[in-house]
Structure 1
Amino acid sequence: MTDSTTPARVRFAPSPTGFLHLGSVRTAIFDWLFARHTGGQFILRIEDTDQTRFAEGTTEGIERSLAWLGVDWDEGPIVGGPFAPYFQSE
């Protein structure tokens, strides 16, 4: 197990194929809480490789849903960061 004093760098990578489901929300919250607890970083990366199932507007919906939950990200779409791109297809 990792020492909890070591800052964690965690990633949440949903696929923009529809609304976030409860399992994804739970994972995002757990990852975000762990990153914040350790003084680490929470990264949002969009796994948009399944272009046949891509649903228009879902990336923005994911961002709005996370913001509504109070989950902010240190790197990712909108905020950028040193390890871009934050869309898998780029």
Structure 2
Amino acid sequence: MYEPERDTEGSTWAREREERCEGALAARVAFESRRREKADEVRAELWLSAAPSRLIREVADRAGLVPAQVLAQLAERVVVGEDGTVSVPPFTPSR
């Protein structure tokens, strides 16, 4: 009669198989979570004229950021008025 608890090699293989399965499930859950987060993201390429570009770079340098981080902080603070106007309240960019 086969007794699994006495079969050390088979028990080791079964345990390793269960661990691989659990790892694969955890990886799938993490992948799905990242995929859902990416669905909420918007990526954009922004071309600015010289004057606004210089201002953004200057603000980024003073704050110790890269220009894309300053633009992201600006975008996070956008307020759209009832009449459709877009504005950003004053703020200080930070890390």
Could you state the TM-score of these two structures normalised by the residue count of structure 1? 0.24
Decide which structure has greater strand share.
1
Could you state the TM-score of these two structures normalised by the residue count of structure 2? 0.23
Structure with the bigger RCO (C-alpha within 8 Å, sep 6+) is 1
Q: Which has the larger radius of gyration?
A: 2
